Structure 1
Amino acid sequence: MIARLRGRPAGQAPDGLVLDVNGVGYLVAATPSVLRRADDAAEITVETYLHVREDALQLYGFADVDERELFTHLLTVNGVGPKVALAVVSGSSSAELRRAIVQGDHARFQAIPGIGKKTAERIVLELKEKIGEGVVPVEPSSSPGRAPHVVARDALVELGYSIAEAEQALAAVDPDLPAEERIRLALRTVAA
């Protein structure tokens, strides 16, 4: 198993990042955080996962061990392959995704291309116990049992925004604010 590579970014290909490690170019399908770090860097370290199939060996690259660990957990879910798992960990931080799993937020995963309702439900159901330990609890919201982020996102969806648009608008808002304030600021962001 190749768990980590340190080398010089030698270019980007449609399939990912080419990392030159002592004269050998490794093609790594990487998360956006790795690709950002590779821009103008003389050398980077990438946490990796080697996916072995009958017809191919594919390296996947992550900015940190948490991203890789979440990726490997996602691979255990029936119906989730490495490309879908990479799309999941590429969309949000590991902490946010873990929180969404613990809170049962299926809609967050349905917003990711390649994931339908049943797969999103399986992700939450199968990973809730595996990764629930160590996840920082979220403050109570005005709606019992629901996190302020979920309340705000659902309100934006009710107003006609897609889940992806709502998530993008809420990403620009302070996560420590109550749901009502998040909605107000997110609407300003979308209108701007």
Structure 2
Amino acid sequence: MIAYIDGKLTHKDPTYVIIDVNGVGYQIKISLSTYSSLPSGERCKLHTYLHIKEDAHTLYGFTTAAEKDVFLHLISISGVGPNTGLMILSSLSVEEVQQAIVREDVRTIQHVKGIGAKTAQRIILELKDKMKKEVMATDAVVVPATAYNTVRSEALSALVTLGFAKNVAEKTLDNIIKREGREMSVEELIKFALKSS
């Protein structure tokens, strides 16, 4: 098991990063909250989980141990794979996931793309007691808003990677930008899109 990766961040995308460790580049899938807290081109450390399948070995990374713990809890549920776990953590913060489970808030979890009522109920049923025992805290880090086109194109790229049709994602993003009428970070824009789908 690879517990963490510590190295220079050489590439940063809303869905994955590449970290150089002594000349070896590790490609690591990440959530939006991890994306928003990583500074480009600097040394960083990600807590990692290595998912092994017959046809692929995939690394998942998190800036906080709390986020990794919630991810591991989520993927322990039947029907929740690593990509779904990342989708949940991209739509909701660690605290929001924890509160939704403890309060048995099926609707909040069900708002995440790809999560149906039965899966949301199963997550709550199986994790409620564990979540009550754990005290988790994450600090929300806001990325300074960059130029509109860059933010929109990065958000679009992330949504397409997460399974949205490109034309649907473009329409959704344009509607959000028109409706909100303010500068947003890539993370905020994608969260709005995931919640409005």
Alignment TM-score, normalising by the size of structure 2: 0.65
Q: Deviations over 1:14-36 (max 9, x none)?
A: 85111111111001001123222
Q: Does the CA-based 8 Å contact 1:16-1:30 persist in structure 2?
A: yes
Alpha-carbon distance in structure 1 between the residues aligned to 2:62 and 2:81:
16
Corresponding residue for residue 68 of structure 2 = 68
Alpha-carbon distance in structure 1 between the residues aligned to 2:56 and 2:63:
23
Alpha-carbon distance in structure 2 between the residues aligned to 1:134 and 1:71:
14
Summarize the Cα distance change of 1:44–1:97 in structure 2 as closer, same or farther, 3 Å threshold: same
Correspondence 1:122 to 2:90: no
Corresponding residue for residue 32 of structure 1 = 32
Q: Percent identity?
A: 40
Structure 2 unpaired stretches of 5+: 137-175, 181-197
Corresponding residue for residue 23 of structure 2 = 23
Deviation at 1:13, TM superposition (A): 5.6
Alpha-carbon distance in structure 1 between the residues aligned to 2:33 and 2:44:
12
Corresponding residue for residue 145 of structure 2 = none
Larger RCO, structure (CA 8 Å, separation 6 or more): 2
Corresponding residue for residue 155 of structure 1 = none
Corresponding residue for residue 87 of structure 1 = 87
- SS in structure 2 of the partner of residue 112 of structure 1: coil
Corresponding residue for residue 191 of structure 2 = none
Matches within 5 A, 1:134-153: 134-135=134-135
- SS in structure 2 of the partner of residue 38 of structure 1: coil
Alpha-carbon distance in structure 2 between the residues aligned to 1:102 and 1:4:
29
Structure 1 unpaired stretches of 5+: 137-164, 170-192
Deviation at 1:129, TM superposition (A): 1.4
Stretches of 4+ moved more than 3 A in 1? 12-15
Q: Does the CA-based 8 Å contact 1:95-1:135 persist in structure 2?
A: no
Alpha-carbon distance in structure 1 between the residues aligned to 2:112 and 2:43:
31
- SS in structure 2 of the partner of residue 104 of structure 1: coil
Q: CA RMSD in A?
A: 2.1
Summarize the Cα distance change of 1:135–1:9 in structure 2 as closer, same or farther, 3 Å threshold: closer
Number of equivalences: 138
Corresponding residue for residue 77 of structure 1 = 77
Q: Write the letter of the residue equivalent to 1:72.
A: L
